[in-house]
Structure 1
Amino acid sequence: MSGPDEPTAAPRSEAPQSEAPRSEPVDLTNCNREPIHIPGSVQPHGALLAVRADGDLTVVQVSANIGEALGHEPAATIGRPLHDVFGRAAAKTVRDVVRTAFDLREASPVDLVLGDGDDLRRYDALLHRVGGQIIIELQAARSARPLSYSVTYARTRQSVLRLNSSRSLTDLYDVVVEEVRRLTGFDRVMVYRFDAEWNGEVVAEAKLDRLNGFHGLHYPATDIPAQARALYERSWLRLIPDVDYRAVPLVPAVNAVTGGPLDLGDAWLRSVSPIHLEYLKNMGVTASMSISLLRDGRLWGLIACHHYSGPHEPGYEICAAAEFLGHLFSLRLVSRENEQTLESTLATREALDRLLAEARSDGAALVDVLTADGTNLADLISCGGVAVAIDGEYRTFGAVPPREALRAAFDALATEGAILACDALPRDVPHLAEHRDVACGILAFRLSGDEGVAWFRPETVRTVDWGGDPHNKELLAREGTGVRLSPRRSFDRWREVVRDRARPWSAHDLAIAGELRQHLLRLVYPPARRGADLARLMQESLLPERLPTIPGFEIEAWYDPAAAGRVGGDWYDAVPMPDGRVAVIVGDVAGHGVAAAGTMAQLRNALRAYVVDLDPADPWPARGVLDRLDRLTAALLPEAIATVVVAVTDPATGLAQVASSGHPPPLLLPAGGEPVVVEMEIAPPVGAWLLGLRSARPRARGAVPDGSGGGLRRLGDFGDFGDFGWTAQVRLAPGDALVLFSDGLTERRTEAPDVGIERLRAHAAGAASAHPDLRSLGDSLFRTCRDPDNDDDATLLLLRRRPTGHP
């Protein structure tokens, strides 16, 4: 198993560094729980130093083999400034890069000459930041330095030309494995592709003639667990020059800055799981390398390289060139896939246009148009049958299950307004298994109540060739009196017949279904209802599909629209900034309906742009973006009024700078104390000059604990303090959380605003300990504090710094 390291027969997940605890069953799923980013050791083909990100770059932690590179044993380097360890010239080179580089990984490798007198050695230094520290990895330079055109681009020129001239996906696959093998010298190079459920398939390989083939073999999703896939997205290149290496521990074992093990998730030299190494040895692999293939920032697959005739270590410049080819391949892949789908997309678009034109004309009922013998819904999405229920009419085309089975599928799987897509109904709704011959898969949406559209696909029985039995996960080997996990030794082809599955629905299918739903909403409902639905769709489309990953932090959000389907202007966001900080935002536009949703869209997008465009040197970023947003509103949205709170957070330090325009101040949930409302000055709302407030340059004081046991002081009166002269700073220690919310979560008609905020604060005090999981904590806060009779939107966003030592 490989995890974030090199695949085996194809990729295998990394497993525990040590034997599984005796209290747990011996099972390959143990690798899901291993903190693979903190192994506490590195591979020996280089040396590592962790230094404080301070002026002297003081050494905090080193690999035990540092003496081989520097002539200084670990004890003689810890606590010393880098210039004492590297020499002043080399230390200055590193310091200059740290001070000026936007991304240290992009600035690597740094060419360093270390040593004294006649004992001078040249190194490639790879740099990255983690936990308030700079990680420096030293690898001996193999070829002439500094790197030049002749040893970088020229190595890949032929490969680039071949990739550019390929005409199909198959050509692309073949070219990239051939060129990576030519460049790196590995005995076998494969392209390994994930499917929608993270099962993998070897879709191309280039190899020595004497080796058996892996092309066409599949591997189960459990071979590469989610945490390993996350590391593949984080670190794109992985090399193991010798599977028989002896791991080099870090000294000291506990990092003095973090108080725990050093995060090596981005480290080139990070040590590898022993079980992963055992898998490679079982296969006869002696060295390996993997390159991540990404599409739209998400892991698509891997280029997997194996060697069988002893250790194999391509120079760093070779590895970097291979990584470049991997990225270029990913770009070409997206382009070729888009070209292949364009033709079918155009045909679908023509059919949709014809169908909508007929639907808008007078005459036949809409359900009859959608299921007619001519152009109908089956021409939009390939299927075995279609069912449509609109305006009390029910029609079908092709082979469909009974209507009660359709209702049962919706009741079990669907939510209002969402697209339902399932290709394994017998698995997800077992009592519908009897209809697998016509309805093993369903793609559907509701319009409202019992109205909606559904496409069905029958069961597609297929055979899958696996690299070994994917169900045999518990092979045990006795060692003395104990039992430990032993990776399987057989990777022979194992054929499985897959049943109870339909042909999967593609992203294009889902997009067409979503577009059709929007058109039908316009056709079916009167203008008032249509306006409400469109506003809701607009708001739903503008809320983030998923929040970004923030190193060292957890983030979750909740949103509930207004009662009776009324759409307001609430929104939440989390925007990564170019300098590594993240701005978390909650806003609330006054009003409801399309106008409020439209204003929200403009303010949200403008605020995103201002956050991304922030000057890194601006000492008050949260204040600055709200200032610019207010000027935009005054100039271009004169009727708009909104409240907004922004918290610009530095993941490295935990420092959050908070500013608010008329919005309730956030709560701070300390890991080991009572929640408090952040004490801060609150500006008038964005656009508040309409109320005569901005012209006086006022601000209001936020509600804060009154010091008498958890109560709150009321918001103060406005005063003349100058425009945007307020910002609060909160440092989130490990385990601390920041709670941002809209007034729809806390306010009730019969209460003063402070009462609802205090209710949230008081409930958070008990809920934080009762619900250590952030999602369940937010569920509890939302469920308890949200007034079911409130006719306003409600939003909640939680940002928590992970406790020390948690992955």
Structure 2
Amino acid sequence: MDVIDQVGRINLDACAREPIHILGNIQSHGALLAADGAGVVRQCSSNLQEFLGLLPAEALDRPLSTLLGRGIATWADSTAADSEERPPLKVRRHRIARTGLTVWLRAHRRGGMTIVEMERAEVMAPAPDSPDDRPALSRILHERNLYRACQDAADLVQAVAGYDRVMVYMFHPDMTGEVVAEARSRSMASYLGLRYPASDIPAQARRLYLEARLRQVVDIHSLPVPIEPLLNPQTGQPLDLGLAHLRSLSPVHIEYLANMGVTASLTLSVIVDGALWGLIACHHTQPFWLDPDRQQRICRVADALARSIRTATRRLDAQATRQAARQFARLQRVVARSRSPLEDIILSRQGLLNAIDADGVALVAGRSVLSTGAVPEADWLRQFARILADRAGEASFVSECLGRDVPDLPAPGPAASGCIAQLIDPAGPVVIAAFAGEVGGTVNWGGNPDKPVEWDPAKGRLSPRKSFELWKQQLRGHTRPWRRADIRLIADVGRLLTVDQAGNPDGMVREIERVSRRLGGEKQVRREILDVLLDGIVLVASIRDDNEMKVHAVNRLFRDVFGISGDKRLPHRLETFLETFGLPPELADPAFTDFPMTREVWSSRRGRRWFSFDRRTVFNAQGESGGTKLALICLYDVTAYKQAEEALMAARQQAISAMEQQRKFIAAASHELRTPLNAIIGFSEMIQMQTFGPVGDTRYQEYATDILNAGRHLLDLINDILTLGRMQPGAAAAADAPVCLNDEIRQALRMVEDQARARSIAVVWEEPPYRILLDMEARAVRQILLNLLSNAVKFTPPGGQVSVVLGGHDGEDLWLEISDTGIGIAEADMEHVFEPFFRAGNVYTRSTEGTGLGLSIVRALMEAHGGRVSLRSRYGQGTTLRITLPSWRLQWHG
């Protein structure tokens, strides 16, 4: 493939080989000149005329000093020389005489070319005055918690730069990334805690992030500007734009950002000890250019964060190293004075398991195995040791997922999911190993990690995934990352045993045999130790050449739960024992490792109980002629938790059922009441209007009017009760379409206009110059506004005023206040005003008609939409009601 093809065709089937540094384009908000070692321009961007007033053909093959001036050419050459030692960050403001345009200049050297970039200085208004960054930077530098330092950095970058979303993105050892801190405007989706596959930021992109610490994308929708000519006429190679600030994006990256709803971005590298620890990634939904001054400021934030991470990491490593050194020195002393060093290292309380962050340790010497804690079965360990011995030149082995890293063996189960091992002698083979159990949980991916790209038939190529929604993946068979200090400790213990045993695997085999025989002979179990334990314990063992597990003892709590008298003889075979007492048969299956497990058990003394079962190996000493294995079966009574869980579930179901019954009753009662009530209202209207002729005495008309008003009041009351009965806090459904709050306020004002005019009440509302869209049901918005406005007008004496005020909508919770100059509410009545049917105790309110449910309905509707309502009032002066909606209900304003 020739160079032209290499530039023009991106191999999307192998994203890691995408030539993102030689795409041959720059972003359209800037221009570029590339000069050779003699200072002569050989390549430039095609939009040069916008900046220099020269066509590309007029600039090519001319000295840089002629185009920009001798002073700028000298500065560019010096700055470019510096950039070969460290990433280019220096900028210079310059006015181009030919066009009068003021630009920011950058210069760096790449591939023997001096590259000068220019950006319009007028693209962005000057940065607003902001507080001193130094206190916040000091906080980041001195923060001992790494994740808090990351959050402080995200907050400071957003405060300085003003992007919609700022994330701190940490790379894991497998190069997947995780968002560990986030600062964002409330209109942006949160990515905090999400993981992203390594393919999202492939290897060549990570290499460039190491070299160019700041990367800004102003507008992904702008057309890229090509470099002319594409190939350097002297070298025949494309221009290497790896360090160029203006370097254009690859089509894959553009589409990736577009799929996220991002228009502009900025990325800062967080480099710790020369390695790419992570990124500070900034997103904006509109085109956005950050001026050099603020770029420098956020670079200082990234520097401070890197130093904080380095300090925290070194402090933790130093602590772990000191602890490991102390533990190793103690193990050296144990071996030096021990008659049985293998037993003391593996089985004693002062042994290896107490010195390392692990759940089990094992020593394999040929066919002999000595272990304690949670480790795989002896046959698995023997095969594992042989696999390590067959690996050429690799004495150490570290795995966080044995099922993945040892594919030739079955996964040992959650009790031993990860391992550190040290090959002591391949001839035996002799291996010492530590195992750790599964760290269960859920990994929250930003989209499906198994589909980082999708085939797009319309484009005839791969495209990045379109969904970044939460994708939950259960993490199975993985343990926690191993500490470097523990890895070193296992290696040191391996060397210690090599020296102590003088490279004698046969001696190790014989010692394990002795340990096995001695442990097998200790049949007297210290029952008094088991009896003081607060959980049920069954001690089981396999002695010497008998591979069948047998019950040796149970403690007092187990006997009490299952009604076992002290002289009752227990079944010896574990399978029979479990069957006798109705315990799970999986406890006798050595291949079953899914512990702890919860099962229902019927106790002869306590009835139906729930127990959590666990099985723990105390030790396992296997020689050539058999061995000894001792294990504990532990029973934890979790009946109280299960009963509480069942009670909560039952209460929840009862509450749901009661609410449903209430809803059905209210609906049925409403129907039964409305039918005759509508007839009463209809007939009273006919009498009042004398539809079928005169009614004679005028008193009949007056009575008909009274009946009509009473009927309408009763109908309003029924409707309000029905509305109130339907409300549940936080249960409102999402709106089918956004509701314009401006329109709803205008409509509500029109509906109370006649009532207010009739009583000379002024209604004041200064409508904002932008529209506010809410994610709410239109019916609910209308009912809230109409209830509040009609109440305000109703309880304001003639000649008064009602005011409507909006506020707090710019990225905050939205609030609306409706104030009146009415009689106000007495302090004694304030705590009752939201209660159904409550009427304030003054003459004016008692003479005013109403159901007494208006404010109760407003509060119920607000709570159903995640909002709240508050009240302030001064008796004799007026009342203000404020409703507040959470920012996530605010869709848009502008």
- SS of match in other structure, 1:203: strand
Question: Which deviates further from its counterpart, 503-512 or 235-244?
Answer: 503-512
TM-score (norm: length of structure 2): 0.52
Q: What residue in structure 1 maps to residue 403 of structure 2?
A: 426
Question: How many angstroms apart in 2 are the aligned matches of 1:478 and 1:526?
Answer: 63
Which structure 2 segments of 5+ residues have no match? 1-5, 505-894
Question: How many angstroms apart in 2 are the aligned matches of 1:257 and 1:156?
Answer: 47
Deviations 1:416-447 (A, max 9, x none): 45310112222233342252244322211112
Q: What residue in structure 2 maps to residue 115 of structure 1?
A: 97
| Higher RCO (CA < 8 A, seq sep 6+) | 1
Q: What residue in structure 1 maps to residue 824 of structure 2?
A: none
Matches within 5 A, 1:314-713: 314-361=290-337, 363-389=338-364, 394-413=369-388, 414-416=391-393, 418-449=395-426, 450-473=429-452, 475-479=454-458, 483-525=460-502
The answer on 1:64 being equivalent to 2:46 is yes
Aligned residues: 495
One-letter code of the match for 2:192? H
Question: How many angstroms apart in 1 are the aligned matches of 2:405 and 2:83?
Answer: 50
One-letter code of the match for 1:198? M
One-letter code of the match for 2:29? H
Deviations 1:224-275 (A, max 9, x none): 2212211111211111011111100000011124312111111111110122
Q: What residue in structure 2 maps to residue 87 of structure 1?
A: 69
Q: What residue in structure 1 maps to residue 107 of structure 2?
A: 127
One-letter code of the match for 1:305? C
Matches within 5 A, 1:154-169: 156-169=133-146
Deviations 1:83-123 (A, max 9, x none): 2211233223334545688747457224444324xx54443
Q: Could you tell me whether the CA contact under 8 Å between 2:15 and 2:199 is conserved in 1?
A: no
Q: Could you tell me whether the CA contact under 8 Å between 1:287 and 1:311 is conserved in 2?
A: yes
Question: How many angstroms apart in 2 are the aligned matches of 1:152 and 1:367?
Answer: 69
One-letter code of the match for 1:72? L
Q: What residue in structure 1 maps to residue 57 of structure 2?
A: 75
Q: Percent identity?
A: 33
Question: How many angstroms apart in 2 are the aligned matches of 1:358 and 1:403?
Answer: 26
The answer on 1:140 being equivalent to 2:140 is no
Matches within 5 A, 1:286-297: 286-297=263-274
Query: Aligned pair in 2 of structure 1 residues 99, 275: CA closer, same or farther (>3 Å)?
Result: closer
One-letter code of the match for 1:123? V
Question: How many angstroms apart in 1 are the aligned matches of 2:81 and 2:10?
Answer: 43
Q: What residue in structure 2 maps to residue 40 of structure 1?
A: 24
Q: What residue in structure 1 maps to residue 151 of structure 2?
A: 174
Query: Aligned pair in 2 of structure 1 residues 183, 439: CA closer, same or farther (>3 Å)?
Result: same
- SS of match in other structure, 1:388: strand
Question: How many angstroms apart in 1 are the aligned matches of 2:467 and 2:165?
Answer: 18
- SS of match in other structure, 2:283: strand
Query: Aligned pair in 2 of structure 1 residues 273, 98: CA closer, same or farther (>3 Å)?
Result: closer
Question: How many angstroms apart in 1 are the aligned matches of 2:7 and 2:180?
Answer: 31
Question: Which deviates further from its counterpart, 189-198 or 154-163?
Answer: 154-163
Residue 142 (structure 1) shift:
5.6
- SS of match in other structure, 1:202: strand
Question: How many angstroms apart in 2 are the aligned matches of 1:264 and 1:216?
Answer: 33
Match of 2:202 among 225, 240, 243: 225
- SS of match in other structure, 2:188: coil
- SS of match in other structure, 1:497: strand
Q: Could you tell me whether the CA contact under 8 Å between 1:279 and 1:489 is conserved in 2?
A: yes
Residue 478 (structure 1) shift:
4.3
Match of 2:216 among 239, 243, 258: 239
Residue 390 (structure 1) shift:
6.4
Residue 322 (structure 1) shift:
1.1
Query: Aligned pair in 2 of structure 1 residues 152, 36: CA closer, same or farther (>3 Å)?
Result: farther
Q: Could you tell me whether the CA contact under 8 Å between 1:72 and 1:85 is conserved in 2?
A: no
One-letter code of the match for 1:58? V
Question: How many angstroms apart in 2 are the aligned matches of 1:484 and 1:44?
Answer: 25
Question: How many angstroms apart in 2 are the aligned matches of 1:173 and 1:391?
Answer: 49
- SS of match in other structure, 1:262: coil
Q: What residue in structure 1 maps to residue 583 of structure 2?
A: none
- SS of match in other structure, 2:268: strand
Residue 473 (structure 1) shift:
4.1
Q: Could you tell me whether the CA contact under 8 Å between 1:142 and 1:315 is conserved in 2?
A: no
TM-score (norm: length of structure 1): 0.57
Query: Aligned pair in 2 of structure 1 residues 73, 431: CA closer, same or farther (>3 Å)?
Result: same
Deviations 1:755-782 (A, max 9, x none): xxxxxxxxxxxxxxxxxxxxxxxxxxxx
If each structure's helix is expressed as a fraction of its own residues, which one has the higher value? 2
- SS of match in other structure, 2:438: coil
- SS of match in other structure, 2:412: helix
Deviations 1:260-306 (A, max 9, x none): 21111111111101222122222221111111112221111111111
Question: How many angstroms apart in 2 are the aligned matches of 1:320 and 1:257?
Answer: 36
Whichever of the two has the greater Rg, that structure is 2
Question: How many angstroms apart in 2 are the aligned matches of 1:467 and 1:100?
Answer: 39
Residue 171 (structure 1) shift:
1.7
Question: How many angstroms apart in 2 are the aligned matches of 1:164 and 1:112?
Answer: 35
Question: How many angstroms apart in 2 are the aligned matches of 1:382 and 1:99?
Answer: 50
- SS of match in other structure, 1:446: strand
Question: How many angstroms apart in 2 are the aligned matches of 1:132 and 1:306?
Answer: 34
Q: Could you tell me whether the CA contact under 8 Å between 1:389 and 1:451 is conserved in 2?
A: yes
Query: Aligned pair in 2 of structure 1 residues 96, 444: CA closer, same or farther (>3 Å)?
Result: closer
- SS of match in other structure, 1:324: helix
Question: How many angstroms apart in 1 are the aligned matches of 2:83 and 2:111?
Answer: 17
Q: What residue in structure 2 maps to residue 202 of structure 1?
A: 179
Which structure 1 segments of 5+ residues have no match? 1-15, 22-27, 528-807
Question: How many angstroms apart in 1 are the aligned matches of 2:462 and 2:366?
Answer: 60
Residue 464 (structure 1) shift:
1.0
Q: Could you tell me whether the CA contact under 8 Å between 2:142 and 2:308 is conserved in 1?
A: no
- SS of match in other structure, 1:163: helix
**RMSD across aligned positions (CA):** 3.2
One-letter code of the match for 1:455? A
- SS of match in other structure, 2:348: coil
- SS of match in other structure, 1:68: helix
Question: How many angstroms apart in 2 are the aligned matches of 1:415 and 1:526?
Answer: 19
